[in-house]
DNA sequence: TTGAAAGCGCTAACAG
DNA sequence: CTGTTAGCGCTTTCAA
C-alpha cells in the first residue's frame, strides 16, 4: 500500500493525499473525508523510509550498550527510551558484548541507517572511537565515561567523589584496614576513578596504603574469590567493593568461610543495584542516578541538534546506609 | 556525502561507485582502487534509507517490551539482539511501560519505519492487538504469551507445567498447606497458568484447595505484605510465589516477623532471577530459558520471512533446588 | 483547492 | 567494463 494507491482509490493526486496526511495546505472538506476514510479502511501507513529520504531526518537515535544483563545498563536505557519516546524519536539498540570491534561496527551501521544521533554507554573510550566518530560526523553523547578529552559531550557519574566519600565513611566508622576489590583500570570510571577515591580518602586521613589490601579482578562475581583470598590475609575490618555484585560476592565468600557480616567484618558496595536493598544484610552502598543519566544524555543529544556545544554533565549520588557496616 | 559526490570526485558514474560498493559487476581494478580510496578518505557510508526505499527491505526488526528493569526482559532482549546481529538485522526498541495504547502506537510506528518484522514481549494479548496486526500485515512473533488463538506464532514458557512441578515438589517434601502469592490473571502466563499448575498439582494429590491460602497482588514487591498477612493466618508450612521477587519479598516479610526460612517456613519462587542464586538463603526456584526464548523467537521470525507458518514453540525449564525449602 | 513534476540517494536493467 | 535511465514512496514548489 502506497500513497499512489490511496490517491488512485480516492481519485485524486498524490499531492492531495499528502496534504491530508500532513494536515498541510488546503483540501476541500469533502475530499479530505473521502481520503481519510480510504486510509482508515486500507490501514495505510506512510513510509518513514521515503520520508526520511526526502527530508534527511529519520528520527532514529542509535544506542550502544556493553550488555543488557546489568541493572545499570537497563536503567540507563530505560531513561533513554523514556525521554526519546516523549520527543518522538525511535531507539535503535546495539548490544556489543564489550567488544571494541563491535562498537566501531555499530557506529558505522548507525551511520548507514542515518540515525540523527548516537548515545554511547561506554566502558572505555579510545582514540579509535574518536577518529571514527570524527570522520563520520554523527552527533554523539557518551554515558558513564568522560570523552571530553576528545571533545565529545558526556554524562558521567561522580565516581571519584563517591568512592572517596564511601571510604571516608568507613574511616569515620573506625576502620583503618580497608580491603579493596576493584576492576581493570581500562574502565576509567569504575576501575580507575573509584580506586583513586579509595586511595585519596585514606591518604587524607594519614592511612598508609597497603597494596596487600588491594585486589583487582573483573566484573564477574567469580573473580571475587581470588581477590578475597589475597585481601583476607591482611585481616581487614572492612571491604570496599567497587560494585554491588562484587560486594555481595564478597559477603557470600565471607559467610561460606565462617565470618559474619557486619559483626566480624563490614562490607560496602557501589551502585545500589536493587539487590543491595533486598539482600540480607541490607548492603550499604552508593546510589547513582542511572535512569536520570539516560534521560539527561538523551536530552543533551537532542539539544545539541540545535546548538552544538560539547559539555560534560555530572550526575549526583547518594550514600545509602544499611546494615552491612558496623563501627569498630 | 552521497554516492553522487563520490562519483564526481572519482570522475565516474554513480553506477560504477555502486558496483564497487556492492562488489557487483565488473569494475576495472584501477578504477576500483581509485574509488575505494576516495570512499576511505571521505568516510562515506551509503544510505540504508535510500537503499531501503529501493528494495523495500530495511533489515529492521521492532522489539516491543513492557519494561527494561526486569531480568526477564533483559535476558530476552539480549537473546534477541544476539541472534539478530548475527543475521544482519538491527533492533528497534520500544518500551511501553505495559500500556496498551503505547503498544498499539509502537506497532504503528514500526509499520511506518517499515520494519521487516516485530518481536513482541507481551504480558497479555488482546483482540485489539490482533486486529491492528491483521490490518497492518507485519510479520510478528509473540514472546511469553500464547497468541495462537489469533493465529500468531508464539514462543512461550511451560508455565503450567513448571508451576505444577514446583507444587508437586513441595508436596513431595511433605507440605500440605502451601500458600500462594500470585498476580492478576490478565497476565495469562504468570497469573493464570501458574495458578492452574498450583491448583492442579494439589488436586491430583487430593489436597483440598483453601482459598484462604491464595493471595493475588501484582508484580510490585510492595504488594507482598498484604498477601502474606492474609496467607499467614492459615499457618502454611510453605509459600509458593509466582516470581522470585515476590518470593524474596515474602522471605523478607517473614524474617521481619521473626520467622526463619526454611526452618519455620519454606519459600519457593519462579524465574531464577539471578537474585535467587546469591540470596541468603539460596532460593529454590524454576529456571526458564529466557535468553534462549529471545533467540528462538528471533529465529522463528526470520524463518517466517521465507515460509510463513504460525506455530508455537515451547521452551523448557528446570527446577533448581537450593536452600529455602525443608522437608516436614 | 488541486495536480504535475522534480528530487531525496541508491540500484539495476539496458545499451553501448 | 562503464554510463544512462527509470523508479522506489514521499513532499513541495509552481502553475493552473
pLDDT over 90 (residue B309): no
β-strand partners of A286: A319
In tens digits, what is the pLDDT along chain A, a chain of 328 residues?
999 999 999 999 999 999 999 998 899 999 999 999 999 999 999 999 999 999 999 999 999 999 998 888 999 999 999 999 999 999 999 999 999 999 999 999 999 999 999 999 999 999 999 999 999 999 999 999 999 999 999 999 999 999 999 999 999 999 999 999 999 999 999 999 999 999 999 999 999 999 999 999 998 888 999 999 999 999 999 999 999 999 999 999 999 999 999 999 999 999 988 788 888 889 999 999 999 999 999 999 999 987 766 688 999 999 999 999 999 8
- List residues bridging with A320 in a β-sheet: A285
The owner of cell 542464586 is B277
pLDDT digits (tens, 9 = 90+) for B11-42: 999 999 999 999 988 999 999 999 999 999 99
Inspect the interface and report whether the beta carbons of B95 and A113 lie closer than 8 Å: no
Phi, psi of B51, rounded to the nearest 5 degrees = -60, -45
Question: Is residue B136 predicted with pLDDT exceeding 90?
Answer: yes
- CA B311 – CA B136 distance, rounded (Å): 20
CA of residue A12 to C1' of nucleotide D12, angstroms: 17
In this complex, which protein residues place their C-beta within 7 A of any atom belonging to strand D?
Answer: A 2-4, 14-15, 18-19, 21-22, 24-25, 46-47, 49-51, 53-55; B 11-16, 19, 25-29, 31-32, 50, 53-54, 56
Instruction: Give the integer Cα–Cα distance in Å for A204 and B275.
Output: 37
Strand D bases, protein C-beta under 7 A: 1-5, 7-13
Q: How far apart are CA A159 and CA A316, in angstroms?
A: 10
CA–CA distance, A95 with A81 (Å, rounded to integer)? 15
Residues B133, B137, B138, B141, CA torsion sign: positive
Alpha-carbon gap, residue B36 to B21, rounded angstroms: 8
- In chain B the first and final C-alpha atoms are separated, in Å, by 74
User: Cell triple for residue A301?
Assistant: 543529544
Nearest nucleotide by C1' from A54 CA? C8
- Searching chain A, which residue's CA lies closest to the CA of residue B45? A112
pLDDT value of position B317: 96
Asked if the Cβ–Cβ distance from A95 to B81 is below 8 Å, we say yes
Q: Alpha-carbon distance B7 to B18, whole Å? A: 9
**Which residues 6+ apart lie within 8 Å of B289 measured at CB?**
B157, B315, B316, B317
Supply φ then ψ for residue B323, to 5 degrees: -115, 20
* Out of A48, A58, A74, closest to residue B68 by CB: A74
**Is the Cβ–Cβ distance between B281 and B275 less than 8 Å?**
no
Contact between the CB of A13 and strand C at under 7 Å: yes
Give B308's pLDDT tier (boundaries 50, 70, 90): low
Cell numbers 585486589 correspond to A215
All residues of chain A having their beta carbon less than 8 Å from the beta carbon of residue B255 are: 280
Shortest distance between the Cα of A179 and any Cα of chain B, in A, equals 21
- Residue B57 CB closer than 7 angstroms to strand C? no
* SS3 label, residue A134: helix
Interface probe for A, chosen from B46, B68, B93 (most Cβ of A below 10 Å), is B68
pLDDT at B310: 62
Q: How far is the CA of A108 from the C1' of C13 (A)?
A: 30
**In the prediction, which pLDDT does B312 show?**
86
From B200, B201, B207, B211, select the one nearest B176 (Cα to Cα).
B207
Q: Give, as one character, the DSSP assignment of residue A192.
A: I
Average pLDDT over residues B94-118: 97
pLDDT of residue A220: 86
Residue at grid coordinates 561522580: A158
Whether A221 and B278 lie within 8 Å, measured CB to CB: yes
Order across the sheet with B178-183: list the strands.
B214-217, B178-183, B238-241, B266-268
Using the CA of A25, give the nucleotide whose C1' is nearest: C1
Name residue, grid cell 493464570.
B192
Mean pLDDT score, B230-259: 96
Q: With beta carbons less than 8 A apart as the criterion, state whether A143 and A174 touch.
A: no
Nucleic strand C near CB of residue A24 (< 7 Å): no
Asked whether the beta carbons of residue B49 and residue A46 sit closer than 8 angstroms, the reply is no
Nearest to B49 by CA among A106, A118, A301, A111: A111
Alpha carbon distance A76, A74 (integer Å): 6
pLDDT attached to residue B272: 80
Q: Quick check: B93 and A63 CB within 8 A? A: yes
Q: With an 8 Å Cβ cutoff, are B280 and A81 in contact?
A: no
Mean pLDDT, chain B, rounded, equals 95
In whole angstroms, what is the distance from residue B226 CA to residue A132 CA? 56
> For residues B237 and B270, what is the distance between their CA atoms, to the nearest angstrom?
18
DSSP per position, B227-259:
HHHHHHTT--SEEEESSHHHHHHHHHHHHHTT-
Let me know: does B216 contact B240? Beta carbons within 8 Å. Answer: no
- Among B47, B92, B255, beta carbon nearest to A114: B47
What are the tens digits of pLDDT across the range B156-195? 999 999 999 999 999 999 999 999 999 999 999 999 999 9
Contact B48 A113 (CB under 8 A): yes
**C-alpha to C-alpha distance for B1 and A211, rounded to whole angstroms:** 54
CA A296 to CA A79: how far, in whole Å?
8
A271-300 burial, b if ≥16 CB within 10 A, otherwise e? Answer: bbbbbbbbbbbebbbbbbbbbbbbbbbbbb
Q: Residue A280: what pLDDT?
A: 82
The arithmetic mean of pLDDT across residues B143-150, rounded, is: 94
| B76/B164 Cα distance (integer angstroms) | 24
The burial of A307, by beta-carbon neighbours within 10 Å (0-12 exposed, 13-18 middle, 19 or more buried), is given as: exposed
Round to the nearest angstrom and report the end-to-end CA distance of chain A: 74
3-state secondary structure of A18: helix
Of A283, A254, A256, A289, give the one whose Cα is nearest residue A269: A283
* Alpha-helical regions (H) of chain B: 3-10, 14-22, 29-42, 48-55, 71-86, 100-112, 127-136, 159-172, 194-204, 224-232, 244-256, 275-278, 290-304
Q: Which residues of B125-145 are buried (b: 16+ CB within 10 A; e: fewer)?
A: beeebeebbebbebbbbbbbb
Q: Which residue is nearest to nucleotide D8 (CA to C1')?
A: B54
Structure confidence at residue A310 (pLDDT): 63
**A-chain residues near B68 (CB < 8 A):** 74-75, 77-78, 81
CA of B27 to C1' of C16 (A): 16
Amino acid at each position: 500500500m502506497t500513497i499512489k494507491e490511496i490517491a488512485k482509490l480516492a481519485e485524486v493526486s498524490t499531492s492531495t493525499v499528502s496534504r491530508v496526511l500532513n494536515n498541510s495546505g488546503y483540501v476541500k472538506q469533502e475530499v479530505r473525508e473521502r481520503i481519510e476514510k480510504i486510509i482508515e479502511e486500507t490501514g495505510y501507513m506512510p513510509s518513514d523510509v521515503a520520508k526520511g529520504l526526502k527530508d534527511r531526518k529519520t528520527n532514529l537515535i542509535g544506542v550502544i550498550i556493553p550488555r543488557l544483563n546489568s541493572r545499570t545498563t537497563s536503567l540507563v536505557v530505560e531513561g533513554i527510551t523514556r525521554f526519546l519516546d516523549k520527543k518522538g524519536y525511535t531507539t535503535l539498540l546495539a548490544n556489543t558484548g564489550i567488544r571494541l570491534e563491535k562498537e566501531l561496527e555499530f557506529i558505522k551501521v548507525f551511520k548507514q541507517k542515518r540515525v540523527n544521533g548516537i548515545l554511547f554507554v561506554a566502558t572505555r573510550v579510545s582514540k579509535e572511537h574518536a577518529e571514527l566518530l570524527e570522520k563520520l560526523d554523527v552527533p554523539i553523547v557518551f554515558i558513564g565515561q568522560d570523552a571530553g578529552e576528545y571533545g565529545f559531550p558526556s554524562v558521567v557519574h561522580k565516581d571519584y567523589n563517591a568512592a572517596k566519600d564511601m571510604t571516608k565513611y568507613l574511616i569515620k566508622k573506625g576502620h583503618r584496614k580497608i580491603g579493596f576489590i576493584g576492576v581493570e583500570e581500562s574502565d576509567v570510571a569504575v576501575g580507575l576513578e573509584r580506586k583513586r577515591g579509595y586511595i585519596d580518602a585514606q591518604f587524607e586521613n594519614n592511612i598508609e596504603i597497603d597494596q596487600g589490601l588491594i585486589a583487582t579482578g573483573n566484573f564477574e562475581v567469580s573473580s571475587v574469590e581470588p581477590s578475597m583470598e589475597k585481601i583476607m590475609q591482611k585481616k581487614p575490618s572492612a571491604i570496599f567493593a567497587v560494585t554491588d555484585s562484587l560486594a555481595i560476592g564478597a559477603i557470600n565468600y565471607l559467610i561460606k568461610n565462617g565470618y559474619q557480616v557486619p559483626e566480624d567484618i563490614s562490607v560496602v558496595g557501589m551502585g545500589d543495584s536493587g539487590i543491595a536493598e533486598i539482600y540480607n544484610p541490607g548492603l550499604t552502598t552508593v546510589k547513582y542516578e542511572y535512569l536520570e543519566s539516560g534521560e539527561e544524555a538523551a536530552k543533551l543529544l537532542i539539544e545539541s541538534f540545535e546548538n552544538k556545544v560539547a559539555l560534560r554533565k555530572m550526575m549526583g549520588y547518594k550514600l545509602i546506609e544499611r546494615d552491612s557496616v558496623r563501627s569498630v
